[in-house]
Amino acid sequence: MVKNPYQPINAHIVDVIDESSTIKSFVVKPDEPIPFKTGQFVELTLPGEGEAPFTPSSSPNQSDQMEITIMKAGRVTSLLHDCKKGQPVGIRGPYGNGYPVDTFTGKEVYIVGGGVGLAPIRSLLLTLIDRIKDFKRVVCRFGARTPEDFIYKDTLFGQWQKIGGLEIKLTVDKSNGQWDGNVGVVTTILKSDDVDIQNAVAVVCGPPIMMKFASMDLVEKGFKSEDIYLSMEKNMSCGIGKCGHCMLGKYYVCKDGPVFTLNQIKEYPDIWD
Amino acid sequence: METVFLSRLKPLFDVIAGQRELYIPHHEEGHFSFARYNPQLHQEIAFNELRLCQPVKQFLFPLREIAAVFPDPVESPVVKPFAVYGLKDCDLRSIQVLDKVFAEEEFCDPSYLKRREQMLIISSDCYNPAESCFCTMMDGDVFPQQGYDLNISKIKDGYIIQAGSDKGLMLLKENESLFADVPHAAILERDDNRAQARRQSEEILTDYQFDVPVNQIVNNGCESELFDNEAKGCVECQACTRICPTCHCFYLYDEKQDDYYQKMKIWDSCVRLDYATVAGGENPRKLLTNRTLHRLMHKFVFFLDRYGIQMCVGCGRCIDACAGESNIRDVLKKLYDEPKTENNQKLKNGKKSIPTD
Ligand SMILES: Cc1cc2nc3c(=O)[nH]c(=O)nc-3n(C[C@H](O)[C@H](O)[C@H](O)COP(=O)(O)OP(=O)(O)OC[C@H]3O[C@@H](n4cnc5c(N)ncnc54)[C@H](O)[C@@H]3O)c2cc1C
Ligand code: SF4
Ligand code: FES
């Protein structure tokens, strides 16, 4: 029999972690394992209310449960924020292409992120960290509105700072007085970086406006547009290339993406909206 | 494949109606729509010389249906065998389009597949192309080429029935006693009718002769000011996308029932303002101009690019249904006629100037 792609796999929330004033991570345990590739997304259903696409923020190596980091942005995400441990949910997926991690081997991986865009990036980072020696180096440049707005604070300020081959630099739009790092939007910390452009790839994920300016800066730095990977966010419904909602030019973001190279999509007028 | 002659359709249709639900064209207020055939009623079996006003997608991809039930999944309802009569070449090609999306990709749509399997397709020649028709511009013809189980050509004294699939062939074999051999004169008459219909279509399209493929016309014209005017003439009723046999946008929504939940699938339209809006209110196609353009780009450029067949089948239904002043065929012509200047870059930069909200 044909598998019903609209049928969610039953799951429930086993833990809720406060990340910032608007962002929470939910640890979700599905009734059957849902193997995924880093950068792929799932459709999370709150039964009777609706579903929305999210990129798991946990490592793909952990398949019995996954973590989903959610920013309160509208109806379904607000209802999800009210959910407690034990809440039944549904998961469809995984969908989309994910990051082509294997092609990053031997290269410098230059990651720019902001806001809840760190969700897919955390999953990617956990994947890279598992085999950190495979890459020349991994550089992270993350931004948040204020120091409190950074998510994954524990690992970001703790464990990740100590990993050899991983270089993290953070910036905030506005300091809270105790911040001794950089102040300014994330693009302000890109300029001074030395990157071996011929042997590097860039990964960008964050609010559209940040992705736009970061991409422009990366191009200016000398990155080829085919080496800049963007996670695109479009309105989605089916997640499987049928309903039409996510179309970006000829692409279905849900199926051909959500990860695109800048080169693939730069000709289209509406990519940042 | 096998071709037979029949003087009246009723005996054949009674057999078919004994095996499955049969829908036939019903003439009402100047156009044809589908009606259930009932052998007891002595209904007239009309020969629709033109496509019906309804699209065939309603049989395969209904306006609203249950997509999934949870937490305990249930088998989707059994689909009984059914037959649809009166489909034209444009309708058959519209089924091919839906097949590409719902039946041939990595993820298949189970209820679409079920309906598709249970459907017997009885097409017929088109003898009277409408003023809005342009199938021959879109790889189509006035009589069915493929994709039917049986095709029916009307001639003066009866009907020529041609099998187009094993299913159709079997039906003819099983009911051999109903049929006669096709007289040679009948074939000549059918070919005459077809030639006459083609001439009529050519006449309708006299002003629409292009020496550039339609996808190129639209692609080259995608920055044209013309889409501003299109937007001005559009009242956003979405009739074009609902009546279109190939439009297949939908969205999923969740419902709570007494002791279970269900995911519903319902038609949507890319003309709708919030179709592409994301959280925070960003909308890549806030302007009606951009939505009008997207509809045409999908129809004429993106789909062909992806699936290798035309998405618009040139049935002209959207032209007849438009409550505003939009005419997809005229848009093609105007784009074709536009002087090929170094066009303005406004659309590219997303700066079209018709606010709609
Ligand atoms: C591939 C992908 C991965 C994503 N990953 C994450 C993530 O890891 N964490 C996170 O917090 N957010 C993520 N988002 C964004 C998240 O899906 C939206 O914030 C969410 O859909 C908003 O739903 P809502 O009902 O709360 O908002 P509302 O504005 O109330 O939603 C209304 C409608 O718009 C649709 N919609 C609204 N915003 C979006 C959007 N941004 N993208 C797609 N559809 C939208 C919804 O499906 C719904 O139908 C992702 C989006 C995509 C496309
Ligand atoms: S776009 Fe118009 S002419 Fe083309 S298939 Fe749809 S309804 Fe028919
Ligand atoms: S979300 Fe339905 S086609 Fe992409």
User: What are B216-260's pLDDT values in tens digits?
Assistant: 999 998 888 889 988 988 999 999 999 999 999 999 999 999 999
What pLDDT does residue B43 have?
A: 77
Closest among B233, B283, B293, B273 to B356, alpha carbons compared: B273
Chain length of chain A: 273
Q: Based on the domain organization, do A87 and A192 belong to the same domain? A: no
A159 domain residue, yes or no? yes
- Residue B10 Cα to ligand 2 midpoint, Å, equals 32
**Residue A37 reports pLDDT greater than 60:** yes
Q: Based on the domain organization, do A119 and A180 belong to the same domain? A: yes
Give the Cα separation of B16 and B10 in Å (integer). 10
Q: What mean pLDDT is reported for chain B?
A: 91
A10 to B348: CB separation less than 8 angstroms, yes or no:
no
Please, which pLDDT band fits residue B352 given cuts at 50, 70 and 90? very low
Please, which pLDDT band fits residue A198 given cuts at 50, 70 and 90? very high
Tokens of A9: 């796999």
**Residue B1 reports pLDDT greater than 90:** no
**Residue A267 reports pLDDT greater than 90:** no
CB-ligand 1 contact for A140 (6 Å cutoff):
no
**Residue B327 reports pLDDT greater than 70:** yes
Residue A203: which CATH number? 3.40.50.80
Find where tokens 């937490």 sit.
Answer: B71
- Ligand 1: which of A229, A235, A243, A246 to mutate, judged by most atoms within 8 Å of the beta carbon? A235
Task: Encode pLDDT of A114-161 as tens digits.
Answer: 989 999 999 999 999 999 999 999 999 999 999 999 999 999 899 999
Query: Which residue of chain A comes nearest to B294, CA vs CA?
Result: A249
The whole domain housing A200 covers 101-231
Please, which pLDDT band fits residue B123 given cuts at 50, 70 and 90? very high
Percent of chain A with pLDDT over 90: 85
User: Model's pTM, two decimal places?
Assistant: 0.93
Backbone Cα Rg of chain A = 18
Q: What is the 3-state secondary structure (H, E, C) of A172-230?
A: ECCCCCCCCCEECCHHHHCCCCCCCHHHEEEEEECCHHHHHHHHHHHHHHCCCHHHEEE
Closest among A107, A143, A33, A120 to A68, alpha carbons compared: A120
SS3 content of chain A, % helix, strand, coil (to 5): 25, 30, 40
Domain boundary residue, one of A93, A109, A131: A93
Tokens of A93: 């997926």
- A244 vs B: CB within 8 A: yes
Q: Based on the domain organization, do A225 and A114 belong to the same domain? A: yes
What pLDDT does residue B349 have?
A: 37
Q: Based on the domain organization, do A55 and A110 belong to the same domain? A: no
Residue A212 CB partners (closer than 8 Å, separation 6+): A272
Closest CA of chain B from A191, distance in Å: 26
- Ligand 2: which of B246, B293, B304, B320 to mutate, judged by most atoms within 8 Å of the beta carbon? B246
B302 to A242: CB separation less than 8 angstroms, yes or no:
no
Task: Encode pLDDT of B33-82 as tens digits.
Answer: 999 999 998 778 999 999 999 999 999 999 999 999 999 999 888 999 99
Give me the residue spans of the domains in chain B: 3-204, 214-348
First to last CA, chain B: 56
What pLDDT does residue A16 have?
A: 97
SS3 label, residue B267: strand
A112 domain residue, yes or no? yes
Q: Based on the domain organization, do A88 and A165 belong to the same domain? A: no
Q: Based on the domain organization, do A188 and A216 belong to the same domain? A: yes
On chain B, the residues whose CB falls within 8 A of the CB of A241 are 105-107
Give the phi and the psi of residue A33 in degrees, each rounded to 5. -60, 145
What pLDDT does residue A227 have?
A: 96
**Residue B27 reports pLDDT greater than 80:** yes
Percent of chain A with pLDDT over 70: 100
Whether ipTM > 0.95 holds is no
What amino acid is encoded at B198 in this protein? Answer: R
On chain A, the residues whose CB falls within 8 A of the CB of B346 are none
Average pLDDT over residues A181-187: 91
A62 domain residue, yes or no? yes
A145 domain residue, yes or no? yes
Domain boundary residue, one of A93, A121, A147: A93
Task: Identify the residue among A32, A212, A245, A271 best suited for mutation to test binding to B, counting B beta carbons within 10 A and taking the highest.
Answer: A245
Please, which pLDDT band fits residue B28 given cuts at 50, 70 and 90? confident
Q: Based on the domain organization, do A112 and A57 belong to the same domain? A: no
What pLDDT does residue B344 have?
A: 40
Residue B54 CB partners (closer than 8 Å, separation 6+): B33, B34, B243
Give the Cα separation of B136 and B292 in Å (integer). 23
Backbone Cα Rg of chain B = 22
How many structural domains are present in chain A?
2
A250 domain residue, yes or no? no
